[in-house]
Structure 1
Amino acid sequence: MVRVVAIGECMVEIARPEGAPPRLGFAGDTYNTAWYLRRCLPDGDAVDYLTALGDDPVSEEMLGAMRAAGIGTGHVRRIPGRVPGLYMIHTERGERSFTYWRETSAARCLADDPAALAAALEGAGWVYVSGITMAILSPEARARLLAALGAARAAGACIAFDPNLRPRLWEDAGTLRRVVTETAGLAALVLPSFDDEAAAFGDADPGATAARYAAAGAEVVVVKTGGGPVVTLDRGGRGTVGCEAVAPVDTTGAGDSFNAGLLAALIGGAGLEAAVRAGHAVAAQVVRQPGALVPVTV
């Protein structure tokens, strides 16, 4: 049995698909990956979510949705007086933009208790975290989470990290680059998206992104290119995996579901190229449907 712990923020999602009425749901980058991991992994493996929620009715409903999805909630902290964050998706020609309301999100408190962090990560085979997770935390909370990730790695866990760069969430560009690089240095697997990386770090091409994260200490780097060929770098060297092009209906959740399919394949013993193709197979189903969390066949 493998236990995966995903860390981050689940939010209230209001989606407005083109030509359709608004829909209400729950989603968020690391939660989306946990949700798809639960569908990609065997029943014997466990997927837990580490976050913080409020004591309001919406938080209670969100917690119920996690449990109904088969995701473990034993390490979800409840913060009196706080509420979940909320975002709205605006979709046009298959591409999406977002409006957020997350200033008082309970998830900003997810790393406030070092003992609770240590307990949540104890015995994990994999820990999945994103740059968004790090961005929403205070500097002190980031330091606590980085320390907990380092301890989990020392205890035998593999850290998977999607930088998922969102500059508006960070205090400044220098802090973004420093914290993302430090987090990647703890990771067995880093899953960047080239367009974001080029904007934040000035990378000339996906190979430069892969090399930079490897130099930071990442063991395996898989660079996504928005549906184009995926560039990989591990101890076996650099590779390129081409995947069939897909005409998207809605790209929400594409990278999150790709990460889930890839990680599940690696956990199951697949090689890196096969894992990339497994990630693409999941994401290709997701982008053909509206919304972040949609039915997939694995």
Structure 2
Amino acid sequence: MVELAPLDQANEFHMGFAGDTFNTSWYMRTLRPDVETSYFTRVGTDAVSNAMLDMMSGAGVNTSFIAQDPVRSVGLYLISLKDGERSFSYWREQSAARKLAQDAELLKRAMQDSDLIYFSGISLAILDPQGRQTLLDALSAARADGKRIAFDSNLRPRLWASTDEMTTMVMKAAAVSDIILPSYDDEADFFGDANIEATGIRYLGAGAKTVVIKNGAGAVHYIHEGFSHHIDPPAVGDIVDTTSAGDSFNAGFFAGLDRATSMEELIRSASQIAGQVIGRKGALVPLDLSKITI
């Protein structure tokens, strides 16, 4: 999406590009330039859409699976600040991304070309019912073909017709996923989980093999290969902007999947990355890779 972020001067904004799954792709590419990272979405043919594609390509993200819609453009969100607190206003209705599952054959080819496929609750929420089913069917087929599927529920009730629709679709998404990376506060609010362990058990019951539950400044809880544990995150300095905390954590987790010797090492590395990101302003910030263990 187009991001309009306030500058120090009143009523002046900086235009950039960000969004939950793209943020993860961007950080993944930063952390693992040796691994091809592709992004799948749909944009327009206008100047802003082309600028977005140029930005992605410039960051090293493969855009060959991004279709261009002759009618629609890209979504936009504006960040407002009041007493240091951020709030967001969104314009998504004419976003081409709402039709990202329209070309089922392109979707299939993109998944066939991948080893790890990551999507979020927002990826589902912006689609119409047919598009959601097309996406879930493609993910299910890819999983059956040996691809690893990762999912962050990223619960955003304003994007859904009802809370029931949101929770139902999230659990359908969980059923086609191997790795689930939810955030506990949201899960407790909308699923009524009594504790963080209950969140993990619920997703494990849906069919996931690994569940890693982010918990703000609290301990990360994971369930993997029949074992569960809590991992305390590293201490961080001043918290400036939490916009991409979860997105960057997810990227760190994916980046270390083939390098870490244990889940504990993997989660600590992902937490180090998120700790750096929340200490800077913006969704996409430079990382000090020398301070990351993986």
Q: Say whether 1:104 aligns with 2:104.
A: no
Give, in whole Å, the separation in 1 of the partners of 2:191 and 2:5.
31
Alignment gaps of 5+ in structure 1: 1-10
Q: State whether residues 52 and 109 of structure 1, in contact with CA within 8 Å, keep that contact through their aligned partners in structure 2.
A: yes
Please give the residue correspondences for 1:76-115 in structure 2 after superposition, counting only pairs within 5 Å. 76-91=66-81, 95-115=85-105
Identity of matched residues, % = 47
Give the residue type in structure 2 aligned to 1:232: Y
Residue among 225, 238, 246 paired with 1:255: 246
Give, in whole Å, the separation in 1 of the partners of 2:261 and 2:252.
11
Residue among 98, 103, 117 paired with 2:107: 117
Q: State whether residues 94 and 251 of structure 1, in contact with CA within 8 Å, keep that contact through their aligned partners in structure 2.
A: no
Give the residue type in structure 2 aligned to 1:252: T
Please give the residue correspondences for 1:204-283 in structure 2 after superposition, counting only pairs within 5 Å. 204-246=194-236, 247-283=238-274
Give the residue type in structure 1 aligned to 2:221: V
Relative to structure 2, which stretch is displaced further, 19-28 or 236-245? 19-28
Q: State whether residues 96 and 252 of structure 1, in contact with CA within 8 Å, keep that contact through their aligned partners in structure 2.
A: no
Q: State whether residues 228 and 245 of structure 1, in contact with CA within 8 Å, keep that contact through their aligned partners in structure 2.
A: no
Give the residue type in structure 1 aligned to 2:231: V
Q: Which has the higher contact order (CA 8 A, sep 6+)?
A: 1
Alignment gaps of 5+ in structure 2: 290-294
Post-superposition CA distance 1:49-82 (Å, at most 9, x none): 0000011100000000000000000000101110
Give, in whole Å, the separation in 2 of the partners of 1:94 and 1:244.
24
Post-superposition CA distance 1:18-40 (Å, at most 9, x none): 77853210000000000000011
Q: Is the partner of 1:263 in helix, strand or coil? A: helix
Give, in whole Å, the separation in 1 of the partners of 2:36 and 2:85.
33
Specify the alignment match of 2:166 in structure 1.
176
Q: State whether residues 178 and 209 of structure 2, in contact with CA within 8 Å, keep that contact through their aligned partners in structure 1.
A: yes
Q: State whether residues 95 and 250 of structure 1, in contact with CA within 8 Å, keep that contact through their aligned partners in structure 2.
A: no
Specify the alignment match of 2:23 in structure 1.
32
Give, in whole Å, the separation in 2 of the partners of 1:94 and 1:227.
19
Post-superposition CA distance 1:214-241 (Å, at most 9, x none): 1111110011111211011112421000
Post-superposition CA distance 1:182-220 (Å, at most 9, x none): 111111110000111111101111111111101111110
Relative to structure 2, which stretch is displaced further, 95-104 or 64-73? 95-104
Give the residue type in structure 1 aligned to 2:257: L
Q: Say whether 1:144 aligns with 2:149.
A: no
Post-superposition CA distance 1:262-288 (Å, at most 9, x none): 111113344211111111111111111
Residue among 9, 14, 17 paired with 1:23: 14
Q: Is the partner of 1:47 in helix, strand or coil? A: coil
Q: Is the partner of 1:104 in helix, strand or coil? A: coil
Give, in whole Å, the separation in 1 of the partners of 2:192 and 2:211.
17
Q: State whether residues 194 and 206 of structure 1, in contact with CA within 8 Å, keep that contact through their aligned partners in structure 2.
A: yes
Give, in whole Å, the separation in 2 of the partners of 1:214 and 1:18.
46
Q: Is the partner of 2:119 in helix, strand or coil? A: strand
Please give the residue correspondences for 1:52-63 in structure 2 after superposition, counting only pairs within 5 Å. 52-63=42-53
Q: Is the partner of 2:16 in helix, strand or coil? A: strand
When normalised by structure 2's length, the TM-score is 0.94
Relative to structure 2, which stretch is displaced further, 156-165 or 229-238? 229-238
Relative to structure 2, which stretch is displaced further, 170-179 or 99-108? 170-179
CA-based RMSD: 1.5
Q: State whether residues 91 and 250 of structure 1, in contact with CA within 8 Å, keep that contact through their aligned partners in structure 2.
A: no
Give, in whole Å, the separation in 1 of the partners of 2:84 and 2:225.
37
Residue among 72, 75, 80 paired with 2:62: 72
Give the residue type in structure 1 aligned to 2:101: A
Post-superposition CA distance 1:141-174 (Å, at most 9, x none): 0000001101111111100100000011011111
Q: Say whether 1:195 aligns with 2:185.
A: yes
Give, in whole Å, the separation in 2 of the partners of 1:218 and 1:141.
23
Q: CA deviation at 1:95?
A: 4.8
Give the residue type in structure 2 aligned to 1:244: P
Give, in whole Å, the separation in 1 of the partners of 2:84 and 2:149.
32
Relative to structure 2, which stretch is displaced further, 280-289 or 238-247? 238-247
